[in-house]
Structure 1
């Protein structure tokens, strides 16, 4: 049962990864006519390579588990065959003994030769028990034969499944090699002028840091606003009403189960400090996640709350900030906004449209705050 559950989990994960690759391929096809920068291309290839690697790993785990199950089934078959052989030998000996007994004297004579009624009764019971035992042996052989046939059928199915997984893994390996070849080609081009690309990364990081600082300033301003008419002197946490405490509690109880802020998409860049894909000596810091989605994708609320800010920070597209008790979700890089400050919103309500860049990338920058501190969205969003 444990192996069967593990196999189901692996199959679920494998299908998730396959759907992820389908999304990547669909978005690539959608933006095929767009001229992308080398930095954007390397990010795309790097992500797909990581997903392909995970798919190969999961498929290998499935194949290994199937091998283990096949070996177990093979041992069961060997054991059952040996057991069946002994049962048949025992049954044959019993039939022969019964036949000889019939030749020597009839059952009636066997009963009539009893010394008394009690002995005759016991002999009758013995004859019944012996007949029942013969019948039980026959039924046991029949059941063991059926069990052996079922295990053999299961074994054939498992072997077919394993062969399919191996064949699929070969295709995935071929795709991975092609992706890696293109990745190496782009990286070789980048290395010829690494200093230029390093400067671009630094500039983008500085711009992202500037926007993050501005968002943090807005969050602190909202905290100060919430504490204005209370006795709280904290500058890092919200003073909550009873209703807001309930909302925050509900938000926390849904940790790991919140819906994605877009209907379709995948995480192109993750939260926190990570080395640059171009220059490993550089560290890239993100206060949220970058979610690649389809063109004209709608941004949607991940939980009930109130819109506290609709703003466009200098040199960036509009963003929406939604408060859920002492938690805030931020939806950046919108081309259109459908809500205004003070609006009450519910889970999955559409609040705007994600902006598409000149290069064809449609990316939502999504982040979560607990009071003045950022949180990893992957810990909150379902299967992120």
Structure 2
């Protein structure tokens, strides 16, 4: 979470946003606030866990000290008695005064056991002293870690307050230009619907084209050859383990429906995920596949469609494309350079995943997305 916040600061907040781009700022700030709130919750959990460990250590230290005092007391008594009976004559007389050989043998055993017991008590004292020192050392370290966590939490809470204040100020400025931003939201929704319709039409056209040779007229499902079935099975078996479509970046917008941050009555939808990355970054294939379509919109922004059996991965918002229709690409192979918006200097890849014409949530397929 700390890494993600750091990356968000670097990728989304490094440049001062243009005034006309406050809608993106609202979304970015909201994601950052949510992550910070979750970070505070997790940090509190860690702090509570450390509290329990510290208390357990304090109890263990108290018990060890009691055991150590008892051991030392018993050992002192043993040493005193040993000193009183230390002369060789006493030991010899103790053996010789035995009534028979068996009693002498048992007395000899007792003397040996007594010596071993005394030695063991000495070793136990050394061992418990070491354990006590280690526990004290652990306790000091745990308290340091807890102090660091509490310090971090205070800092995150302070930053969070700033982010919430900034978001409120931003919302206030948007409310003052209500009509302008309502129009911008409507335009954004229209653009999203247009892109989704275009993607759907291109996928259906690609399926229909692929099925011509097999005798199937369907534009909804691929007719799979044995080889295509194997590729689809391999792709499906890697669910949750597929690589990111960029070398590094952060998810700036997730999959599915969500309420608008400015107007909660408005529902927005993302059929894929949006990943913010560095200027000049490249989109890369998440799995081996065939380039079945290259899309170019009226603004010159491009998209690459890869087929993996009956699965399609789609990489949209590219400035340059390095592949051609019909190319077979391998996992991690660069597909094109991601477009950087010249107005706000933002670089983001829109990534979509389909099974035939069914939309899939990429977050369930890409590792830690």
**TM-score range normalised by the length of the shorter chain:** over 0.9
Partner of 1:383: 368
Partner of 1:165: 149
Q: Which moved more, 1:357-366 or 1:196-205?
A: 196-205
1:366 pairs with one of 341, 348, 351: 351
Question: Do structure 1's residue 59 and structure 2's residue 59 form an aligned pair?
Answer: no
Alignment map for 1:107-122 (pairs within 5 Å):
107-122=91-106
TM-score by structure 1 length?
Answer: 0.90
2:270 pairs with one of 259, 263, 286: 286
**Number of aligned residues:** 368
Q: For residues 151-197 of structure 1, give each alpha carbon's deviation from its aligned partner in whole angstroms, at most 9, with x where no partner exists.
A: 11011011111111111121111211111111110101112233432
TM-score by structure 2 length?
Answer: 0.94
Question: Do structure 1's residue 241 and structure 2's residue 241 form an aligned pair?
Answer: no
2:136 pairs with one of 130, 146, 152: 152
Distance 1:170 1:333 in 2: 39
DSSP-derived class of the 2:208 partner:
helix
Partner of 1:10: none
Distance 2:236 2:244 in 1: 16
Unaligned runs of 5+ in 2: none
Distance 1:242 1:172 in 2: 54
Partner of 2:111: 127
2:21 pairs with one of 21, 27, 37: 37
Give yes or no for contact 2:210–2:222 (8 Å, CA) kept in 1. Answer: yes
**1:368, CA displacement in angstroms?**
0.3
DSSP-derived class of the 1:262 partner:
coil
Q: For residues 49-71 of structure 1, give each alpha carbon's deviation from its aligned partner in whole angstroms, at most 9, with x where no partner exists.
A: 22222222222222221111111
Partner of 2:206: 222
DSSP-derived class of the 2:221 partner:
coil
Alignment map for 1:186-265 (pairs within 5 Å):
186-230=170-214, 232=216, 234-265=218-249
DSSP-derived class of the 2:222 partner:
coil
Q: Supply the RMSD in Å over aligned alpha carbons.
A: 2.0
Unaligned runs of 5+ in 1: 1-16
**1:99, CA displacement in angstroms?**
3.7
DSSP-derived class of the 2:304 partner:
strand
1:96 pairs with one of 72, 80, 103: 80
Q: For residues 118-168 of structure 1, give each alpha carbon's deviation from its aligned partner in whole angstroms, at most 9, with x where no partner exists.
A: 111111111001111111111111111111111110110111111111111
**1:36, CA displacement in angstroms?**
4.8
DSSP-derived class of the 1:46 partner:
helix
Question: Do structure 1's residue 275 and structure 2's residue 269 form an aligned pair?
Answer: no
Give yes or no for contact 2:243–2:367 (8 Å, CA) kept in 1. Answer: yes
Give yes or no for contact 1:198–1:278 (8 Å, CA) kept in 2. Answer: no
**1:109, CA displacement in angstroms?**
0.3
